[in-house]
Homo-oligomer: A and B are copies of this chain.
């Protein structure tokens, strides 16, 4: 199997389940308390959640369920919930007091289209909706396990904490240490990506075992390659403003290790993930799992 072939298998998975995920997101909104919301808020929430994107987090969640031998349909509430949390974080991240961005996935950001106050509220609403979707599941034990996982991954020691650190280190640029950058990564994006996968594993087992280590490596690799993408791609290619990290002197891998150093760093994580594969207790879909580190690495080549 060639490298390109491996990359294509995970991409093919994302494409194969793409319409399922979009339908899942749409149905979850239609069956949620959003239907009782004021129109302006409903539009802003819908704009934030249904505006495309690669849907990597739902894809990881559904893949994890299948790999563990569970029908992926059962993982859809968790897949939707994690994407809702991701979407809310983008809305708040784009606010003038945060990254101050007007463009996201090639479209106006929520505050650019609906105003700043509505953007704050739309983000808040999406976080509440995520926990509503999880709590509506008939299996209480599963719902609580996933709810606790998502709350921790999204909360002050997870995603939100990573964003706070990222902001505190703004202007530090190259003077930040690798350890500091790794701490930002572990929270900011890595944690939610890792737990997106583990929310799928939750359907099959109480103790994630080696999947826990695997998911954390995938999360770190995702954020590492995200830093490289920001530094090397144009605004048009990214669908969001490129080169912002450098402009804000953010504490990124590139600032600390340089571009080649960052690439080497990402390759090292990918190799660790590959080495772990034989120990993963897979039931099926092993080609997509095997292709995942390479897919992440390749996207910033």
Contact = CB atoms under 8 A, between A and B. Distances in A.
A252 interface: no
Oligomeric state, in copies: 2
Given A38-B164, A92-B121, 20 more contacts: A32-B155, A33-B151, A33-B156, A34-B156, A36-B157, A36-B161, A37-B156, A37-B157, A38-B161, A38-B165, A41-B161, A89-B124, A92-B124, A95-B117, A97-B120, A117-B167, A118-B164, A121-B160, A137-B144, A140-B141
Contact of A154 (B120, B128, B161): B128
Given A135-B151, A151-B128, A156 B120 contact: no
Interface in A137-190: 137, 140-141, 143-144, 147-148, 150-152, 154-158, 160-161, 163-165, 167-168
A32 B157 CA distance: 9
Interface in A26-60: 32-38, 40-42, 45
A78 interface: no
A95 B97 CA distance: 10
7 contacts: A41-B160, A41-B164, A95-B97, A98-B120, A128-B152, A129-B151, A132-B148
A136 interface: yes
